[in-house]
Amino acid sequence: MGRSSDAQGRIVRAAARLFLARSYHGVGVDELCAAADVRKGSFYYYFPAKAELAKAVIDLHAQAFWAQLDDNEQATPLERLHAVADAIGEIQIGLESQFGRAVGCPFGNLAAELATSDEDVRAHVAAVLAELERRLALVFREASEQGLLRAGVDPERLAHALLAQYQGMILLAKVNASSAAELPPALHELIDANLSDPVRSRSADAVKPAASRSSGSAAAVATPSG
């Protein structure tokens, strides 16, 4: 058995990978314990209920998401706008590279499985998605204050639209077995459509293909360490 000192982290990382590979309901406690190299007693010590593990997995993915979104503090406002699309695309392309197919959004997957059966998990996912939308709105609000967005564009509504498009596209990619590489260009187009005319002509210089960037953060979430 592995060291007990990092048992909790191994369980969460193993669950993050297995839940994406299959589903929350499709993975049992015995399999989780084997993948994490822990005894069942240790599992229940840290997670008296499997739903508690689901919330820990949500938090793990959220930390990786925040790291991706925050990794552009030195960028210009225009670059920060497009970095939003790149960060989302980078995570999804990294996951697709690991699993060999689009596996969906970790938050959306768990919401689809548990939102109608576990109120606590539903509320936990909702809080993370609300925080994601808030962070997106902050970027768009900054852009609006600097005159980068078209007159009349509401930063909060734009953040909501981008989040909704992301969730919808990655769900369709999962269902249709299509590539997550289609996601970043579509999000860039949504952002470009809301830029002011003078800024739109310069925006192509700020776009960097997500597929060419490192997918380290996503890999760290989905792959359990020994």
57-209 in CATH: which number? 1.10.357.10
* 226 has a pLDDT exceeding 50: no
The whole-number pLDDT of residue 1 equals 45
Superfamily designation of domain 1-48:
Homeodomain-like (1.10.10.60)
| Average pLDDT estimate for 179-204 | 84
The pLDDT tens digits of the residues spanning 150-185 come to 999 999 999 999 999 999 999 999 999 999 899 999
List the alpha helices (DSSP H) in 70-182: 77-99, 106-114, 119-145, 155-176
* Domain assignments of the chain as residue spans, ordered by start: 1-48, 57-209
- Using a 10 angstrom Cβ sphere, with 0-12 exposed, 13-18 middle and 19 or more buried, the burial of residue 1 is exposed
The percent of residues above 70 in pLDDT, for the chain, comes to 85
pLDDT at residue 23 above 50? yes
Residue whose structure tokens are 């792959």:
223
Please state, for a pLDDT cut of 90, what percent of the chain lies above it: 71
pLDDT computed for residue 4 by the predictor: 52
The lowest-confidence range among 12-21, 64-73, 130-139, 145-154 is: 64-73
Cα–Cα distance, 77 to 29 (Å, whole number): 46
Report which of 189, 211, 197, 198 is spatially closest to residue 82, judged by C-alpha positions: 189
Could you tell me the CA-to-CA distances from 28 to 1, 67, 99, 111, 221 in Å, in that order? 19, 30, 20, 18, 20
